[in-house]
Amino acid sequence: MQFTGMRIPIETFRLPNGLFVTLSEDHTAPIVAVNLWYHVGSANERPGRTGFAHLFEHMLFQGSADVGANEHFELIQRAGGTLNGSTWLDRTNYFETVPSNQLELVLWLEANRMGWLLPAMSQQKLDTQRDVVKNERRWSVDNQPYGTWWERLPALVFPEEHPFHHSLIGSMADLDAASLDDIKHFFATYYTPDNAVLSIAGDFDAADARRLVDKYFGKIPAGRGKPPLPVMDLPATFGEWKRVVVEDDVMLPRLFLAFRAPAFGTLPYYASSVCATILGSRKGSRLYRRLVRERQIAAEAQAFTYDLTKASDLFVIDVTARPSVSAETLERDVADEVDVLVRDGVTEDEVARAVALVQAEFVAAMQSAGDRADRLSMFATYFKDPDLVNKQVQQYEAVTVAAVNAFVRERLGENNRASLLFVPKSEGEGEAAASDELAAGVGSAVQS
Amino acid sequence: MTDIATAERLPRPKAGEPRPYQFPRFERAVLPNGMKLIVAPIAKLPIVTISVVAEAGAVADPPMRAGLAQLTAKSLLEGTTSPDGTAITDRFERLGASIDAHADWDVAAVTVTTLTHKLAESFDLLGAVLRRPGFNEREVERLKAERLAELLQQRAEPRGLADELFTRFLYDSRSRYALPDGGDETSVRGLARAEVVRFYEARYSPASMTMIVAGDVEPSAFERMAGAVFGDWRGILTAPASSSDEPARGTRALHIVNKPDAPQSELRIGHVGLPRHHPEYFPVVIMNAVLGGLFSSRINLNLREVHGYTYGANSYFDWRRQRGPWVVATAVASEVTHAAATEVLKEIDRFRAAPITEDELTLATSYLDGVFPIRFETTSAIASALTTLVVYDLPDDWYDEYRARVRAVTSSDVLLAAQRHLHPEALQMVVVGNAAAVREGMETIAFGPVQRYDVEGRPA
C-alpha cells in the first residue's frame, strides 16, 4: 500500500474591507476552530519599543467595547472552548476551538476587538499587563537555563538594523516605556481587516459562515496602510563563522549552530527542511545517532528550521553536552559532523525517512481543527494561497538527494556558520573544569 | 479611526443548538494468552495509535531502586535481539511512525502512531520491541548516564527543581512518591542491566497487559493481527504494585531552596491529594477548576490579573491510583513572593468558608461539558483516554456518563469537597528562589517552621 495523500477542502473569499477569509469544512465532530492572523509582529516595532507587539497581544484579552477585561477568556471557556494567542517575528495570531454551535460567539468576540478595542483600554490595564509580561520574561527567559538563546541567536545572525534582530519579548526598559498612545497607534495601523486573515475549520456550513463573517466583520473599516518594513534581503551566507560564548547559570555546555537558509516556501527550502529532519529530528537522526548514541558526547541533539518567509530562513543545530564533555569538544564534534555531511552528502534512505516522517506528521496535525485553521491562516497570510497546505507533502516528496546535497554544499560550509555557545559559569574552582579550555575569550560580546 | 465610531456594533449572539457527540465506541477482546484488547475504530483519517499498557510503573520499583521502571521502559527502544540490534527506532522512523516508551507512576506504556498503510509493518516492529528486547549493556548504561545528566541540568532549572523538591518534602521518606519517578542520583547509579532484565520478565507479561487501539482499523481484522504477533507470547499474571502514600508530616512547613541569582521565585503550595478512583471525583474536579484549574480561576485572576504578580498560576491534582499531590504552582517576582503566597492561602481559606457562586459553578461545569469533544480530536488523545479507563479501572460507560455527571455537580457538593479535601493545616510550601530576597517577607506571614536547603535539597 502507498500513501495516496489527502486534501482538506478549502474555500476562500474577501470582504470589501479587505479581510481575507478561508473556510474548511469537516463534520466528523461537532467542533469548530477560528483562527485570526494579523500580519504584524516584533519586526514592525519601532526603536525603543521592543516587546510591544507581544504586550499588545496581551491587551487584546483586556476587553473591547462590549467585552470586559478577561471576559473573552471567560466567555470562550464557558462555551466549552479553548483559546490563546501568540506573537512571532512577523505575525500575531488569536485562536479558539469551540463546540460548533458557538461559532457565532467567537466571530462576535473577534470582531468586537478588531473593530472596537480602544474604548476598553486603560492605563491601569496596561500597567497590569506590563507586569504580567515582565513576569513572563523572567519565567521564560531570565530564570531558565539557556533561556536567553532565543533573543541572543537572532541578535547574532541578523544585522543590527534588520527587523528580526531585536528581542521579541522585549527589554524591561522598553516594556516600561510602552504607553496608551502606543496602543492607539499600533491598533490603528496594524489591527485592521485588510491586514488580517480569518480561518474557520471544522463543523459549520460554509454559506452560514459567509453570512456571519460578513455580519460581524463587514462594517469594520479598512486600514490606511501600514509602513513598509525596511528591506530585509540578506546575502545567502554570513561570509564568515560568527561566534559568541555566553557564561550562564547552567550545568552543561550547549551549542546553537545556525546557518542562513532558503526562505520558507521557496523550492530550496524543502531541501533545507528535509536536511534538518535527516540531521536532527528524532532518535534515528544523524546527530542523535552519532553524538548521543555512538560517541556519547551529547545528552540531547536536534536540528530545525525557523521557517521565516522573509529574506532568509535559519537552519539551527542545537546540541547539549554530556557531563564532563567540554564546550570546545562539543563545538568541534558538532562541526565535524556537519563537515562530514558537506563532504559526503546524504543518502537516498535518509531522504526517504524524512519524507515518511513529514507525511505522517501532516496527517497527524490535520486531525485537529485548530491546526488546520492555523495552517490555512499561515499560507494565506504569507502567500495569499491557503491551498498550499494541500501541496506541502508533494513538495517534500519531490525533494531529491541531489537537492539536499546542493543545499548542504551551498549553506552548511564554514563561511555560513554562527555559533552561540553556552558554558557553565565558572564560580568555584573545580566546577569550571568543563569550560577551562574556553576560559580565554569568554564573554558575552558578539565576536565575528 | 473616526469612521470606526460610526460603524454599528451588534449584540452578543446566543449559542445555537448543540450537535450531539458520542465518545468513540470501542470493542473489547482477549487473546488466548490473556492479553486484553480495546479497539476503537475511528473513520476520519488514515492514522492509527496503538498503546500497550503494562503493570510496570514506578511504584513497582524495588526498594533502593527508584528509576528501574523508567529505565526498563526506555531500554525497550534501544534494541531488540532480532531484527538486528539498535536500529529499532530508525526502522519506525523509516515508516514515518512515531514510537514512545515510558513509565509513569502506575503503569508503563509503549505507544506507536502510524499511517494506516504502514500499520502492518509498524505492528511487527512493536511486537519485536515488546517481546525481544536486547537490553544491551552499553545502551542501558547510556540511558543511566542520560538520566544523571538530566538530574544535573535540573539543579539549574527552577521549575523542575521546585516540582521535584515539593514532592520530596511532601511525602514520607518510605513512600516511593518521595523520589522522582525516574529515580535520583544515588538510586540511578545503583541500577544494573540484570535488574532491568528481571523487572521486564516479571512485569511485562501479556496476561497483565492491555493493548489499546484507536484509529483507522477494523476491529476483527486488528484482533487477528494482534493474535498473529502476540498470541503465542506466554507469561504469568502480574499483580499491580503499590506504595505508601503517607505525608511526611501533618502540619505546615515552609521549605526555602536557595538559588541566589534567581530573578523570580518558583512557588509550590499543596498537600497530599486523593486517589484517582474516588467517589467525589467530579465535585473535586470542579472545585479545583474554580480555585486554580481554569484561566478564570480565583487564584489565576487574583495573582495575574488583579496583582500582576505572575505570568500564570494554577492548581492541579496529580492523579494516581494512590494519593498523588494536590498543588498550587506559580512563579512570581522575588519581592512579592510573600504577598503572592498570602493571596494563595487566602483563596484556599475563602474556598472552604462559603459556597462558590452560581456563575463560578456554571463556568466550570459548562467548560468541562462543552470542551469534552475537543479533548478527543486525535487518535492519540482517544487512546490515552482509553488508557485512563484501564489504569484506574473505570467502567466502560465512563465517557458516556462524564458530561451528565459534570453537570450534576452543585455548589454545595463543591463546598463539601473543599471542606473535606483541602487541608490548610497540612500545607507544605516550597520556594525556589533568592533566599536573601524572600526571607524577610516570608517571615512576616508566619506560615510555619522554616527549613532551608541548597539546590541539591540538602539542609543549609
Contacting residues of B for A73, CB less than 8 Å apart: 295-296
- CA of A239 to nearest chain B CA: how many angstroms apart? 35
Q: Which long-range contacts (CB under 8 A, 24 or more apart) does A12-17 make?
A: A12/A380, A12/A386, A13/A210, A15/A193, A15/A213, A15/A214, A15/A217, A15/A218, A16/A218, A17/A193, A17/A194, A17/A217, A17/A218, A17/A220, A17/A221, A17/A222
Question: What was the pLDDT predicted at A219?
Answer: 95
Place B281 in a pLDDT band, splitting at 50, 70 and 90.
very high
Question: What was the pLDDT predicted at A427?
Answer: 57
Identity of the residue in B156, B370, B377 whose CB atom sits nearest the CB atom of A81:
B370
Local structure of residue A360 (DSSP, 8 states): H
Question: What was the pLDDT predicted at B83?
Answer: 59
Contacting residues of A for B7, CB less than 8 Å apart: 115, 219-221
Q: Is the pLDDT of residue A439 over 80?
A: no
The β-bridge relationship of strands A443-447 and A196-202 is unpaired
Whole-angstrom distance, CA of residue B64 vs CA of residue B54: 22
Q: Is the pLDDT of residue A428 over 60?
A: no
A60-71: average pLDDT: 96
Give residue-wise pLDDT tens across range B230-256. Answer: 999 998 888 899 999 999 999 999 999
Q: Are B264 and A135 within 8 A, CB to CB?
A: yes
List C-alpha distances in Å: B93 to A400, B113, B121. 18, 11, 12
Question: What was the pLDDT predicted at A231?
Answer: 86
CA B121 to chain centroid, in Å, comes to 30
CA B212 to chain centroid, in Å, comes to 18
Whole-angstrom distance, CA of residue B344 vs CA of residue B349: 9
CA-angle at B365, arms to B360 and B368, nearest 5°: 125
Give residue-wise pLDDT tens across range B321-375. Answer: 999 999 999 999 999 999 999 999 999 999 999 999 999 999 999 999 999 999 9
Q: Residue A432: exposed, middle, or buried by beta-carbon count in 10 A (0-12, 13-18, 19+)?
A: middle
Tell me, yes or no, if A348 comes closer than 8 A to chain B by beta carbon.
Answer: no
CA-angle at B33, arms to B27 and B35, nearest 5°: 40
Give residue-wise pLDDT tens across range B252-271. Answer: 999 999 999 899 999 999 99
Whole-angstrom distance, CA of residue B204 vs CA of residue B195: 14
Question: What was the pLDDT predicted at A429?
Answer: 39
CB of A367 within 8 A of CB of A29? no
DSSP codes, A205-254: -HHHHHHHHHHHHTTSPP----PPPPP----SS-SEEEEEEEEES-SS-E
Whole-angstrom distance, CA of residue B353 vs CA of residue A150: 46
The residues, any chain, with a CB within 8 Å of residue A375's CB and separated by 6 or more, are A365, A389
The residues, any chain, with a CB within 8 Å of residue B77's CB and separated by 6 or more, are A283, B88, B89, B99, B101, B129
Closest CA to B203 of B301, B266, B110, B100: B110
CB of A369 within 8 A of CB of A201? yes
Three cell numbers written together for B234? 506466554
Cis check: omega of the bond before B13, within 30 degrees of 0: no
CA dihedral B419, B420, B422, B425 (to 10 degrees): 90
Place A444 in a pLDDT band, splitting at 50, 70 and 90.
very low
B55-61: average pLDDT: 98
Q: Which residue has the higher pLDDT, A433 or B31?
A: B31
ipTM: 0.95
Residue A339: beta bridge partners? none
CB of B401 within 8 A of CB of B282? no
Tell me, yes or no, if A31 comes closer than 8 A to chain B by beta carbon.
Answer: yes
CA-angle at B263, arms to B259 and B268, nearest 5°: 65
CA B266 to chain centroid, in Å, comes to 20
Question: What was the pLDDT predicted at A3?
Answer: 60
Local structure of residue A187 (DSSP, 8 states): H
Give residue-wise pLDDT tens across range A147-191. Answer: 999 999 999 999 999 999 999 999 999 999 999 999 999 999 999
User: Mean pLDDT of all residues in chain A?
Assistant: 93
Give residue-wise pLDDT tens across range B199-216. Answer: 999 999 999 999 999 999
Give residue-wise pLDDT tens across range B8-21. Answer: 799 999 999 999 99
The β-bridge relationship of strands A20-25 and A443-447 is unpaired
Give residue-wise pLDDT tens across range B71-104. Answer: 999 999 999 887 555 688 899 999 999 999 999 9
pTM: 0.95
CB of B228 within 8 A of CB of B80? no
Three cell numbers written together for B32? 488466548
Residue A353: beta bridge partners? none
Q: Is the pLDDT of residue B113 over 70?
A: yes
Query: What are the b/e assignments for A11-39, b being 16+ CB within 10 Å?
Result: ebeebebebbbbbbbbeebbbbbbbbbbb
Place A447 in a pLDDT band, splitting at 50, 70 and 90.
very low
Local structure of residue A50 (DSSP, 8 states): T
Question: What was the pLDDT predicted at B6?
Answer: 53
Question: What was the pLDDT predicted at A430?
Answer: 38
Identity of the residue in B10, B44, B366 whose CB atom sits nearest the CB atom of A108:
B10
Contacting residues of B for A431, CB less than 8 Å apart: none
Question: What was the pLDDT predicted at B169?
Answer: 97
Q: Is the pLDDT of residue A91 over 90?
A: yes
Place A6 in a pLDDT band, splitting at 50, 70 and 90.
confident
Whole-angstrom distance, CA of residue A435 vs CA of residue A252: 9
Helices and strands per DSSP (H, E), number in chain A: 15, 12
Three cell numbers written together for A75? 466567555
Closest CA to B200 of B305, B366, B100, B77: B77
Identity of the residue in A118, A142, A322 whose CB atom sits nearest the CB atom of B145:
A322
Whole-angstrom distance, CA of residue B153 vs CA of residue A194: 47
CB of A165 within 8 A of CB of B291? no
Q: Is the pLDDT of residue A443 over 70?
A: no
Give residue-wise pLDDT tens across range A247-262. Answer: 999 999 999 999 999 9
Question: What was the pLDDT predicted at A4?
Answer: 61
Give phi and psi for A156, each to the nearest 5.
Answer: -75, -40
Question: What was the pLDDT predicted at A431?
Answer: 39
Question: Which of the residues B102, B123, B136, B153 would you substitute to probe the A interface, choosing the one with the greatest number of A C-beta atoms within 10 Å?
Answer: B153
Give phi and psi for B145, each to the nearest 5.
Answer: -65, -35
Neighbouring CB atoms inside 10 A of B298's CB total 22
Q: Are B152 and A323 within 8 A, CB to CB?
A: yes
Contacting residues of B for A283, CB less than 8 Å apart: 77, 89-90, 93
Give phi and psi for A3, each to the nearest 5.
Answer: -75, 115
Contacting residues of A for B266, CB less than 8 Å apart: 143
Contacting residues of A for B9, CB less than 8 Å apart: 65-66, 112, 115-116
Question: What was the pLDDT predicted at B425?
Answer: 97
Four-residue CA torsion sign, A428, A434, A440, A443: negative
CB of A178 within 8 A of CB of A123? no
The β-bridge relationship of strands B27-30 and A416-424 is unpaired
Question: What was the pLDDT predicted at B261?
Answer: 86
Contacting residues of B for A247, CB less than 8 Å apart: none
Three cell numbers written together for A292? 548521543
User: Mean pLDDT of all residues in chain B?
Assistant: 95
User: Can you say whether residue A88 is alpha, beta or left, with left for phi > 0 and alpha for psi between -120 and 50 degrees?
Assistant: beta
Whole-angstrom distance, CA of residue B215 vs CA of residue B379: 6
Three cell numbers written together for B13? 449572539
Three cell numbers written together for B61? 520499583
Identity of the residue in A140, A292, A367 whose CB atom sits nearest the CB atom of B47:
A367
Q: Residue A439: exposed, middle, or buried by beta-carbon count in 10 A (0-12, 13-18, 19+)?
A: exposed
Q: Is the pLDDT of residue A290 over 70?
A: yes
CB of B158 within 8 A of CB of B433? yes
Q: Is the pLDDT of residue A126 over 60?
A: yes
Q: Is the pLDDT of residue A436 over 60?
A: no
Question: What was the pLDDT predicted at B235?
Answer: 87
Identity of the residue in B19, B155, B372 whose CB atom sits nearest the CB atom of A251:
B155
